[in-house]
Amino acid sequence: MIETEALLHIAFEAEEAGDYARAREGYARCADLGDVTGLTNLAYMHDTGLGAPPDKDEAMRLYRRAWRRATCTVSANNIAILYRERGDHRAMVRWFARGAAAGDDSACLQLAKCYLEGVGVRRSVEAAVRCLARVLASDTVYEDDIDQAEALMEPFRPRLA
């Protein structure tokens, strides 16, 4: 545990300094030790191409490994995004739903958008409103998520005469 904390610290600092090769090496060593943060950060580097050309297949493999290891909601979200990029909207919805079921209230915002637009799932205002309500009741989502949820919920609020 202490070894992975030290390795993560070194990798974070290397990434901040733009030394992506050293960051990748540090995250890879953490991943080899089974550390979920190291796995997720290494996957993100492959996903976005930090320090090397993007490798979406390797990113997917690493995100899935992090999910299996610790039900990592960050990984579930990123897997969903990779499926969205591939055009596999049903798989995207499944992964946003997994993240939401594991406690990621931000994933509910993405699910609400899917339900409202009928992307990857049958259009359902009721399901979208339930998802939006969860986002609005959460104390763990970003302010931007709250703002988006408020805007999406507006047409469904009762009007006072």
Amino acid at 47: D
Q: What would the mean pLDDT of 72-101 be, rounded to a whole number?
A: 97
For the question of whether the overall pTM of this predicted structure is more than 0.75, the answer is yes
Are 80 and 17 within one domain?
A: no
Least Cα distance to 109 among 152, 78, 140 occurs for: 152
Q: Encode pLDDT of 36-57 as tens digits.
A: 999 999 999 999 999 999 999 9
Task: Evaluate if residue 75 carries a pLDDT over 90.
Answer: yes
Tell me how far apart the alpha carbons of residues 79 and 82 are, in angstroms, rounded to a whole number. Answer: 5
pLDDT 10s digits, 12-23: 999 999 999 999
Strands (E), the chain: none
Confidence of residue 161 (pLDDT cuts 50, 70, 90): low
Percent of the chain scoring above 90 in pLDDT:
92
- Which of these three, 36, 70, 104, is where a domain ends? 70
For the chain, counts of helices (H) and of strands (E): 9, 0
Cα angle 4-8-64, degrees, rounded to a multiple of 5: 85
* Domain end among 26, 45, 70: 70
Q: CATH number, domain at 115?
A: 1.25.40.10
CATH of the domain at 27: 1.25.40
Task: Assess whether 49 and 101 both reside in one domain.
Answer: no
Question: How many angstroms separate the CA atoms of 9 and 15, rounded?
Answer: 10
Whether residues 65 and 79 fall in one domain: no
Residues 62 and 82 in one domain: no
For 66, the domain range is 1-70
- Taking the C-alpha atoms of residue 83 and residue 76, their distance in angstroms, rounded to an integer, is 11
What are 109-134's pLDDT values in tens digits?
A: 999 999 999 999 999 999 999 999 99
Rounded CA-CA distance 23/51 in Å is: 9
Q: Looking at the structure, tell me whether residues 153 and 112 fall in a common domain.
A: yes
How many domains, the chain?
2
pLDDT band at 3 (very low <50, low <70, confident <90, very high): confident
pLDDT at 25 over 90: yes
Q: What phi and psi, each to the nearest 5 degrees, are found at residue 143?
A: -60, -40
Q: Please report the pLDDT score of residue 134 as a whole number.
A: 97
The answer on 57 and 82 residing in a single domain is no
Of the residues 70, 105, 126, which one is the last residue of a structural domain? 70
* Position 159 pLDDT exceeds 80: no
Residues 63 and 11 in one domain: yes
The CA distance from 145 to 112, in Å, is 12
- Mean pLDDT value of segment 71-91: 97
Same structural domain, 129 and 158: yes
Same domain, 55 and 82: no
Task: Indicate the SS3 state at residue 49.
Answer: coil
Cα separations (Å) of 27 from 1, 2, 76, 141?
A: 14, 14, 19, 26
Instruction: Say yes or no to pLDDT of 9 above 80.
Output: yes
